[in-house]
Structure 1
């Protein structure tokens, strides 16, 4: 804020030192010829109307008002053109949407237009250009010099300002090229307007001005519709990319990144709505994800809450419009905000909020694009959820919830390849079997046996944690994979697990007894251990080795034992 105030003070000082005195000196050295009030009024009205119809090219507004100012300059000279340019500054100031404060934009643009007008006008006069000349060759040649100098001075002024502000921008940018191209297109019209007005008066401004304004309006509409079409095409591409994602996390991440990029947002947030609360799911700031450390708020609080309650999307152009509504986390430097509900099966399940540091960063058609993208997002999220459930069913044991043999087989092969590449030093496999499990089923019933399998699965998960992967190998057999575990460490784990299980009370209900009552039973495990690459570097061999250790080293040695494979 201090930097903004300092820049405003410098600009106003320069404006006060240059523009008023410059206007006086311009009038003294280049006084205008006698001016017809109706002509001047017609030129002024045409210039104002033209200023209200910019073309949006490559995201930058381009104004066609120079076709009027060129004609005015050729007829009345520098002073008249300076005054008209200063008037259009005011029009453009209120017409354009910019994040820069008006306290900077007004002195900056007024000073720039004044300096550019003086440089171009004086160059024209010094090179031999004449005001009011009707020599066509003279008018075209010197008029083109005037306009080229004007555009060059304008972009030089902007380039120097960027350099002073530390912005690394090239002088020959795409905007410069477009500016020159548009000048070449409108210059013939400006010459025609000047010559025609010289012969038939202000009526020429009506004769040529009305069609020109109509064409400018049509071009503006076409430019806007073309931007809409481009955004719609990009939205469709994003929808296809989301549909290709197979997990909810992938859909969430891809959606936030793509939307933020498409709408040139500094901030993007996906907020979940459930249990009467709004909880942050994703925070994407300045092209990177940040930690989710934001507390939940009531569903009807803040900007997101309003969207949930009303079910309608909103745009806020500047902070003053939403500052009193916001509740929860929004960055202090945010200005423009666009927020839309995320609905699935006609039920709002979340909110998408994007924000920009710029004022007036978003327009109405982008809100429609965001609605479309939110629909794509909801559908893709639902699809990813179904896919994940299907994958989970194919990879998990239906009884215990542990990974099944199919998943274990694929994981073992992948992990063994990591050992072969040198990414992992060791890989240990623990195979365990419940001793005398058939007798448990025969004595207490198969459901009681299932209860023991489920409870044992939970114990194994708790003991292994994130160190390895637990899977049900089949029946009463379980397997644990330990990446980067050597044989000694794995044997210590297996022995501690064996002791824990033999002391644990497994609570069951005796389905085969006269009274179906709860009771505690005890089981024991026989465990075999094999390690790669010491014992083998092939996945199937690692399993066979652990199985051999289990049955020969543990089962045949009396059960309730831990045995390591030995060559």
Structure 2
């Protein structure tokens, strides 16, 4: 913005100094024989139509107006060509969407078109080119020279401006190559238009111009349909990839990354809609996920709220179109936005919102594709939720919700593989057994025993946290798997757990006596500890040795003790 504030006055000053005086000098030095006739009006009409119908190549609009301006220059001279070029510049100014304001783009483009036309025309005349020539070889040679000089000067002008603005790019880019190729393809058409006009007059622009316009429209429609087909195929591929994900977090992350890549977004947000509130689940900015700390908002707020309220997708091309909407926190430089509701079973569950720093970065076709992707996303998210429940049931104990023996066995085997591979240095296993648990069941009932198991599981889960894996081994036995723990450290942890459990009051409902009442009960545990690689070479060995320590070193020694396996 600061650069624009300094640049705009400078551009207008240069424009005022060069363009009006330059037009007068060009008119005086190269006066046109004809300033306006019906043929020129026909040329101008087709120049305007060509400016309104660009071809889109690799996402870049290509304006083929030079097939008309070359013919105008060869017939009417430099002054008329400058006027026609300035007219097409005005059309492109309002036709092309850009982040730069028109107050900056007008003087820059007008000055550029004038300088390029004047420079190229002077080169043309200085090497012997003539206006109104009827000699075919002269027309082709000097016409091609004119076109190539104009093209090279154009790219040099833009490159110098990039360097001055410190946005320098390489001089030869893919767009440059396309520009040269299009020029070579259009040039014969321009020469034919000039020669034919010299022969049949006003009918030439109509004879060549109308088919050219029709061809341009057909190519634009074909290009648009091809782009839609490509995007639909990409959307289908993304849907298949989402269907392969087994967890909801994987589905969300994959979806956000794929959508950002497909639509070339700078920002993407997945917003959850629940209990009449909006909560941002994922923020993806400049190709990476960003940690977030955003409070929930009422669902009526912001662009996401609008999408939910109307149950319809939204598309904004400029910030001024949505800036008055109170929305979730977004970057200041966002211009274009697409937002679409995420629905499942006819119920809105969230909103996908993507943004770009470029104005008018998204199209209606892309918004429709994003609606399709949101449907894939909702279905995949629901499937992943079912899969998580199925996996949880297969890996968890139904009573305590701790991991079960199956999961423990797989995790233990994987850990032992890491031990053998050298990627894990130490591994300890704590095996625990409730003392006199049978007498608790006999005295208070099995339901009370289950209540103790549930509360004990909660205590262990909270105490271990992310340090290891807690599992119910079977009955009243529990196992804690501790990667990176030495035997000495595991023994200290086991002793602390033993004391905490012994001092903890477990609440039970007596279920055998006629009158139910809440009681508090204290229990003790016998604990055995074994470690790898010193105590065992495989998973079975470390469990067996921890079990031996539990029974021989703790149970047989009087219970309520911690014992380490010794060879």
> What band does the TM-score fall into relative to the shorter chain?
over 0.9
Q: Distance in 1 between matches of 2:288 and 2:544?
A: 47
Shift of 1:104: 1.8
Shift of 1:199: 2.1
Match of 1:289 in 2: 289
Summarize deviations over 1:157-182 as a string: whole Å, max 9, x none.
11221222222422221111111211
Task: Tell whether the 8 Å contact from 2:35 to 2:80 is kept in structure 1 after alignment.
Answer: no
Shift of 1:78: 0.9
Shift of 1:378: 0.9
Match of 2:374 in 1: 374
Summarize deviations over 1:465-508 as a string: whole Å, max 9, x none.
22221100111100001222222222222122222222322222
Deviation beyond 4 Å, 4+ runs, structure 1 = none
Summarize deviations over 1:313-355 as a string: whole Å, max 9, x none.
0111111111112333122111111111111111110001111
Summarize deviations over 1:30-78 as a string: whole Å, max 9, x none.
1112244222221111111110000110111101111110110110111
Match of 2:116 in 1: 116
Match of 1:485 in 2: 485
Matched residue count: 567
Match of 1:190 in 2: 190
Match of 1:355 in 2: 355
Residues 38-53 of structure 1 correspond to what in structure 2 (within 5 A)? 38-53=38-53
Shift of 1:458: 0.6
Match of 2:329 in 1: 329
Shift of 1:442: 2.2
Q: Distance in 2 between matches of 1:526 and 1:560?
A: 5
Residues 534-553 of structure 1 correspond to what in structure 2 (within 5 A)? 534-553=534-553
Q: Distance in 2 between matches of 1:113 and 1:148?
A: 15
Q: Distance in 2 between matches of 1:421 and 1:40?
A: 82
Residues 325-474 of structure 1 correspond to what in structure 2 (within 5 A)? 325-474=325-474
3-state DSSP of counterpart to 1:225: helix
Match of 1:126 in 2: 126
Task: Tell whether the 8 Å contact from 2:432 to 2:528 is kept in structure 1 after alignment.
Answer: yes
Shift of 1:206: 2.0
Match of 1:207 in 2: 207
Q: Distance in 2 between matches of 1:3 and 1:36?
A: 41
Q: Which moved more, 1:119-128 or 1:362-371?
A: 119-128
Match of 2:97 in 1: 97
Q: Which moved more, 1:157-166 or 1:352-361?
A: 157-166
Q: Distance in 1 between matches of 2:495 and 2:334?
A: 58
Residues 50-65 of structure 1 correspond to what in structure 2 (within 5 A)? 50-65=50-65
Match of 1:220 in 2: 220
Match of 2:84 in 1: 84
Q: Distance in 1 between matches of 2:209 and 2:490?
A: 88
Q: Distance in 2 between matches of 1:430 and 1:122?
A: 91
3-state DSSP of counterpart to 1:188: helix
Task: Tell whether the 8 Å contact from 2:159 to 2:168 is kept in structure 1 after alignment.
Answer: no
- Relative to the length of structure 1, the TM-score reads 0.97
Match of 1:154 in 2: 154
Q: Distance in 2 between matches of 1:273 and 1:226?
A: 35
Summarize deviations over 1:73-116 as a string: whole Å, max 9, x none.
11011111111001111000001111222122111111111122
Q: Distance in 1 between matches of 2:229 and 2:88?
A: 31
Shift of 1:188: 1.9
Structure 1 gap ranges (5+): none
Match of 2:11 in 1: 11
Q: Which moved more, 1:264-273 or 1:496-505?
A: 496-505
Match of 1:263 in 2: 263
Residues 158-169 of structure 1 correspond to what in structure 2 (within 5 A)? 158-169=158-169
Q: Which moved more, 1:60-69 or 1:441-450?
A: 441-450
3-state DSSP of counterpart to 1:512: coil
Q: Distance in 2 between matches of 1:85 and 1:41?
A: 14
Q: Distance in 2 between matches of 1:514 and 1:112?
A: 98
- Relative to the length of structure 2, the TM-score reads 0.97
Q: Distance in 1 between matches of 2:100 and 2:251?
A: 36
Q: Distance in 2 between matches of 1:237 and 1:164?
A: 43
Q: Distance in 2 between matches of 1:310 and 1:458?
A: 45
Q: Quote the RMSD (CA, aligned, Å).
A: 1.5
3-state DSSP of counterpart to 1:34: coil
Q: Distance in 2 between matches of 1:244 and 1:327?
A: 33
Match of 1:315 in 2: 315
Shift of 1:436: 1.7
Q: Distance in 2 between matches of 1:494 and 1:177?
A: 71
Match of 2:240 in 1: 240
Q: Distance in 2 between matches of 1:295 and 1:104?
A: 40
Q: Distance in 1 between matches of 2:93 and 2:263?
A: 24
Q: Distance in 2 between matches of 1:408 and 1:328?
A: 42
